[in-house]
Amino acid sequence: MMIRWLSGTPRHPAADPAKMAVYVGVLTSAKLDKSAVKRNRMRRRCREALRIELKEHANLPTLQLLLSPRSSSLTCDFADILTDVRSFLSLHGLP
């Protein structure tokens, strides 16, 4: 999985700059798999791994994340996806 990030709130009228939040988007193209069911499963697995890991952190900075799963995220073990998310969070100073 590839994760791109920006600090701060998005430039959107509904985004409250005073509120600390993590804004997440998932990008899966038809090049990964032709089946929409499989692409949706990749999205759900990545979002769930991120949700589980962010649940453990109380004070998070405001971030914008763009998750781009790889085709292997459909068949790999869920623990591997969790490890990817943990390593991303540890690179940015979050335990």
Per-residue pLDDT tens for 7-63? 888 888 888 888 888 889 999 888 888 999 998 999 999 999 999 988 887 777 888
Say if 95 falls within a structural domain.
no
Each residue's pLDDT tens digit, 27-41: 988 888 899 999 899
Rounded CA-CA distance 12/79 in Å is: 34
Say if 42 falls within a structural domain.
yes
Please report the pLDDT score of residue 48 as a whole number: 94
80 lies in which domain range?
2-89
Say if 39 falls within a structural domain.
yes
Say if 10 falls within a structural domain.
yes
Q: What is the mean pLDDT of residues 67-86?
A: 88
pTM of the model: 0.81
Say if 82 falls within a structural domain.
yes
Distances (CA, A) of 74 to 45, 52, 95: 8, 18, 27
Please report the pLDDT score of residue 93 as a whole number: 64
Distances (CA, A) of 83 to 9, 34, 47, 78, 88: 26, 27, 13, 9, 9
Say if 94 falls within a structural domain.
no
What is the CATH classification number for the domain harbouring 60?
3.30.230.10
Say if 31 falls within a structural domain.
yes
Say if 35 falls within a structural domain.
yes
Number of domains within the chain:
1
Residues forming a β-bridge with 22: 63
First vs last C-alpha separation in the chain: 20
